[in-house]
Copies of this chain bind each other. A is one copy, B any other.
Amino acid sequence: MRFEAPESLSEQIAQHIGQRIVVRSLKPGERIQELKVAGELNVSRGSVREALLILERRHLVEIYPRRGAVVSEMTLASVHALYDIYIDLLCMLGRKVLECWSGHEISALVEQVRKHASLLSGLKGAGSNPEQVIDAGFDLVRNACQMVENPFLQETLENFRPAISRTYYMVLENRPSEAAETGELFLKLADTAAGNDAARLQQVIQEYGEHQRKQIMHILKEESA
């Protein structure tokens, strides 16, 4: 029997509020009131403050001195900036994966990518659960990170996960067929990684990131029109 410490209370609150931000039941720009949240969740105000600091680290809220916390905006400019750095970090991850290539580990990872890809390609719109699709993608990122053994890269990517999820969630809600599209791109990713060509892998990662960026930009423009 193994005992594991549960997530801290502030982490639990952060995940709860974070999830509401990702699915946009808390809207970009909306204020989050410490006291109100503390009352609703029946927790101390201090725990809510800690949760908000965790959410700030995850790029989901901004905290202004004396004015409190606000859900991060989702503008064309902010999404551009987000994808710029996220794509860069994914490229670094891809490069590092190939650098520390070892036959066994990489083929396990490639296998995982393939499985994930065929799962996605099978989803023709109906029955696709956005959260499941998103989680599967991030699990891959996490596994690749563990291979690379760079805790700073892993942490930085993890911290971007909720903000990227929020954009991806929006894409999958508006265009369910994107799940299958993503599957195709993942398949290409697996083939390229297996080929051990670093330059080509960077290119495919970039393509993948740019494809997502384009989708979310379209939807944001439609919304504001």
- CB under 8 Å from chain B, chain A span 48-85: 49-50, 53-54, 57, 59, 65-66, 77-78, 81-82, 84-85
- In the assembled complex, the Cα of A160 lies from the Cα of B6 at a distance in Å of 28
For the complex formed by this chain, how many copies does it contain in all? 2
A132 at the interface (CB under 8 A from B): no
Q: Would you call the interface of chain A mostly helix, strand, loop, or mixed?
A: helix
A96 at the interface (CB under 8 A from B): yes
Q: How large is the interface on A (under 10, 10 to 19, 20 to 34, 35 or more residues)?
A: 20 to 34
Chain A interface (Cβ within 8 Å of chain B)?
A: 5-8, 10, 46, 49-50, 53-54, 57, 59, 65-66, 77-78, 81-82, 84-85, 88-89, 92, 96, 149-153, 155-156, 160
Instruction: Write 5 A-B pairs (CB below 8 A) sorted by A numbering.
Output: A5-B65, A7-B65, A50-B53, A53-B54, A88-B88
- In the assembled complex, the Cα of A59 lies from the Cα of B81 at a distance in Å of 23
